[in-house]
């Protein structure tokens, strides 16, 4: 139940993230100076939080999206299965987000 | 095409026989985004840094240029469908509902154009 609303929330978060992606690409297309301005903006506390939130939203939405694909085939609907996959999903998304930032930084 | 159904679609009164299209569009763009998203994450992680010249050189390569454009298009399309469902679920007043849907559609279209335009500009070395 909680996870279903989280799928929407992370989806909306990435819709906002799409603006960030477009801004990043536009700054890179505009030149070194503009790109530097964008990365400076993103390295502030707010920028960092946005990026970390975005990455978590990505991994969560990706994993839950795959879960939805499995459901589309009619599998995994039993209550104990859905609960187990929900737990796995949450741990997976947090772990991969942490791993991503450890690799990146 | 049934005249009443097309009239409903024309007036933007919700899905008239468009439900399965929405479902398939969401699934197909979803599959594309699993692949393109993982490619993008792997690329970001394998780049030596995210400094200007590294990023521009990476995006400038033709295969990356195409894949990144596709990623932007698929993401904007998928996002548009998702936001549409949310608006349909939570915004009930008819006029506000239609206005929100239109604004969302236009915003997503513009975002896709801006992002792809930037990618292509980098590909052309400007």
C-alpha–C-alpha distance, residues B50 and B64, integer Å:
15
List, for residues A22-68, the tens digit of each pLDDT value.
999 999 999 999 999 999 999 999 999 999 999 999 999 999 999 99
Q: What's the whole-number mean pLDDT along residues A6-13?
A: 95
Q: In this model, does residue B2 exceed pLDDT 90?
A: no
List, for residues B10-59, the tens digit of each pLDDT value.
555 555 456 778 889 999 999 999 999 999 999 999 999 999 999 999 99
Q: What is the pLDDT of residue A28?
A: 97
Q: What is the pLDDT of residue B1?
A: 47
Query: Containing H/E element for A75?
Result: none
What's CA A71's distance to the chain center, in Å?
A: 21
DSSP for residue B23 = H
Q: What is the pLDDT of residue A81?
A: 85
Q: What is the pLDDT of residue A76?
A: 83
C-alpha–C-alpha distance, residues B53 and B61, integer Å:
13
Q: What's the whole-number mean pLDDT along residues B61-72?
A: 97
Fold for domain A2-104?
3 helical TM bundles of succinate and fumarate reductases (1.20.1300)
The answer to whether the complex's ipTM is over 0.85 is yes
Asked if B52 is an interface residue toward chain A (Cβ–Cβ < 8 A), one would say yes
Q: Is the pTM of this model over 0.90?
A: no
C-alpha–C-alpha distance, residues A59 and A93, integer Å:
5
Q: What is the pLDDT of residue B10?
A: 54
Higher pLDDT, B68 or A79: B68
Site of tokens 């070194």: A32
> What are chain B's domains?
29-123 (1.20.1300.10)
* Domain range summary for chain A, segments of one domain joined by +: 2-104
C-alpha–C-alpha distance, residues B94 and A74, integer Å:
35
Chain-chain contact of B30 with A69 (C-beta, under 8 angstroms)? yes
| A104 in Cβ contact with B42 (< 8 Å) | no
Asked if B105 is an interface residue toward chain A (Cβ–Cβ < 8 A), one would say no
C-alpha–C-alpha distance, residues B102 and B83, integer Å:
11
Asked if A16 is an interface residue toward chain B (Cβ–Cβ < 8 A), one would say no
């Amino acid at each position: 139940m909680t996870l279903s609303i989280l799928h929407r929330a992370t989806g909306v978060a990435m819709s906002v993230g799409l603006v960030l992606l477009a801004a990043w690409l536009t700054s890179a297309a505009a030149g070194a100076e503009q790109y530097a301005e964008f990365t400076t903006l993103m390295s502030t506390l707010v920028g960092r939080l946005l990026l970390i939130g975005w990455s978590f939203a990505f991994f969560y939405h990706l994993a839950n999206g795959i879960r939805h694909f499995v459901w589309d085939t009619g599998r995994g609907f039993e209550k104990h299965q859905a609960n187990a996959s929900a737990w796995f999903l949450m741990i997976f998304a947090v772990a991969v987000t942490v791993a991503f930032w450890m690799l990146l930084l | 095409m049934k005249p009443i159904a097309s009239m409903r679609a024309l007036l933007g009164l919700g899905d008239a026989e468009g439900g399965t299209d929405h479902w398939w569009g969401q699934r197909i763009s979803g599959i594309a985004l699993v692949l393109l998203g993982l490619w993008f994450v792997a690329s970001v992680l394998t780049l030596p840094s995210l400094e200007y010249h590294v990023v521009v050189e990476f995006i400038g390569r033709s295969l990356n240029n195409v894949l990144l454009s596709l990623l932007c298009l698929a993401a904007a399309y998928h996002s548009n469908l998702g936001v549409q469902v949310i608006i349909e679920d939570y915004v009930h007043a008819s006029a506000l509902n239609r206005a929100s849907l239109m604004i969302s559609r236009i915003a997503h279209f513009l975002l896709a154009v801006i992002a792809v335009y930037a990618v292509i500009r980098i590909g052309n070395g400007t």
